[in-house]
Each structure stands twice: as C-alpha cells, then as structure tokens.
Copies of this chain bind each other. A is one copy, B any other.
Amino acid sequence: MQMWFSEYHTVNVKLDVRIEEQLFSGKSEYQKIDVFKSYEFGKMAALDGEIVFSDADEFIYDEMVTHVPMAVHPNAKKILIIGGGDGGVAKELIKYPFVEKIDVVETDKMFVDVCRKFFPEVACGLEDPRISMYYDDGLRFLRGKNDEYDLIINDSTDPLGHTEGLFTKEFYGSCYKALREDGIMVYQHGSPFYDEDEAECRKMHRKVYKSFPISRVYQAHIPTCPSGYWLFGFASKKYHPLNDLDAERWDALGMKTWYYTTNLHRGAFMLPKYVEDLLEEEETR
C-alpha cells in the first residue's frame, strides 16, 4: 500500500510523507484533527491538514521556544503558554525546578484529549502539578491580566483561521500588559523563504517591533515546516537575548537536550542576509 500525506508549503510545493496508518480523524468545534503514523517522522498530528508536530522533530520546536527565553530570563517563575495543547512546551518547562506556575490556555479541548491519547510522551508535560489548564481563547484570557507573567510563549499555529486573533496588534499589546516589568514574550514567526510566507513574516515583525523595546528574531531548522526553515520572535521589556544570555547558569542546570545548546542559542540569532534585510526594512518603515 502507498498512502501519502501531502503538506502544501505553497500552492506549488508540497512535502509528501508516506503513511503507515491513520490513527485518528475527527472534527472539533474549531478544526479538523488528524493523527497519522508515518514511516519517517513517526506519529504526526495535523490540524486542518497541516502538520503541527511529529515524533521526529517536535524536540526542535519545543526546545527552541522554551530554552532560549529561559536561558536569558534570570528568574522566570510564572509562565503562560498560549496554544500548546499538545503539551510539548510544558514538557520542556517543567524541567526547570525554579518555575512555580504554568498557565496553559488552549481553545480546543478535543486537541488536548487527542494528544493525551496518542502522544502521551509529549502531553505528559500537562500533568505536572504546577500546570493549570484553561480552555479558552488566548486573547480573551489575556484581557484584564496585568503585570503577572515573567514569560509568555505563544505556541499558536497560524496567523490564519481561528487563531488569527493571536497575531494582531491588540494581542501583542495584551501580552505586553500581562508581562511583568522584565517579562519576555516568545512567538512563532513563520518561515521567511517562500514569498507568501515572507509577507506574513514582515507584517508580524512590524507589529511586534513597535510593541516591545527589544525585538529580535531567531531561527531553527525544522524539517516539516515550509522550506525546513522556521523563525521565532523574542520580544522583551528588559533582557536582550544575547547580551543577557547567562550560559554558565543554564549549562549548570545539566539539562538533557537534543537541539538546544547555549552555543547554538547565539548562532540562532545570526541570520542570513536576506532575512536580516527584510526585518530591517520593516524596522525603518
């Protein structure tokens, strides 16, 4: 049998992954949820037909959104994850003994239930006693929050669809308010390579750059992402992602990782010229 899952990176490019079997297919109030078992990537979760993570490469994404800010902030105790119903980011965060409270806000309860069933080794992140789950819209949850979090990780999938509100100026403003005076926000910045993605990437940087005093972009290589190349945003009220990196302190934690190191942390902010150029263009608009 030949069964292929096609992920369209643009209308003219797709990544095809050979599937062993489909483990789940369902429709929640918000989206279509599918789980596949693939030969190359192991189990994969797809939302509305797009891979959101796979056994083989979730570690890259989850480590990069978690350890980069955690190696910079000297004392992140209270953290908010927006989206993140799969538990992957929580799984990394609970490794820090000094973290006291993690709020996870996820719109789609069915997605969480599906991840708990099919990805227990990822979703286990949600079982820690420091975790509080809220099934709510991220933007609504943030309203009224003031000076509360040391770190906000926006783990939402896409600037389109039901999570669109999490990519607006209002949203970034709400995050700013919800953060303490030395808070950091980390978010998905998309892929800059294909033209249609580049436009989104530019828009996002323009909005965040105006909302935070420090706004830098960093990169990782994620095979299932469009063109295999993914950017993250680091927006911060006080700490600079490189000048305030405390590599010694992080290394002393002795944390086991597969992608992140404090050396890679530095390299992740050294971007290709075409990416530097497009970000700078938005900064000087």
Query: Does chain B have a CB within 8 A of A251?
Result: no
Q: Give Cα A151 to B98, complex, Å.
A: 51
Q: Are A60 and B223 in contact (CB under 8 A)?
A: no
Do A38 and B12 contact each other (CB < 8 Å), given the known contacts A221-B229, A259-B274?
yes
- Digit string of A262-274 for contact with B (CB within 8 Å is 1, else 0)? 0110111111111
Please, which residues of chain B bring their CB within 8 A of the CB of A11?
A: 18, 39
Contact of A264 among B14, B18, B229, B273 (CB under 8 A): B273
Please, which residues of chain B bring their CB within 8 A of the CB of A225?
A: 228
Most B CB atoms within 10 A — which of A16, A18, A39, A194? A16
Query: Does chain B have a CB within 8 A of A40?
Result: yes
Interface of A is mostly: mixed
Q: Are A258 and B274 in contact (CB under 8 A)?
A: yes
Contact of A40 among B16, B194, B219 (CB under 8 A): B194
Please, which residues of chain B bring their CB within 8 A of the CB of A264?
A: 270-273
Contact of A18 among B12, B17, B267 (CB under 8 A): B12
Please, which residues of chain B bring their CB within 8 A of the CB of A16?
A: 6, 13-16
Chain B residue with Cβ nearest A219:
B221
Q: Give Cα A271 to B264, complex, Å.
A: 6
- Digit string of A186-205 for contact with B (CB within 8 Å is 1, else 0)? 00000001100000000000
Query: Does chain B have a CB within 8 A of A28?
Result: no
In the complex, how many angstroms separate the beta carbon of A247 from the nearest chain B beta carbon? 12
**Interface residues of A, Cβ cutoff 8 Å to B:** 6, 10-18, 38-41, 60, 193-194, 219, 221, 223, 225, 227-229, 257-261, 263-264, 266-274, 276
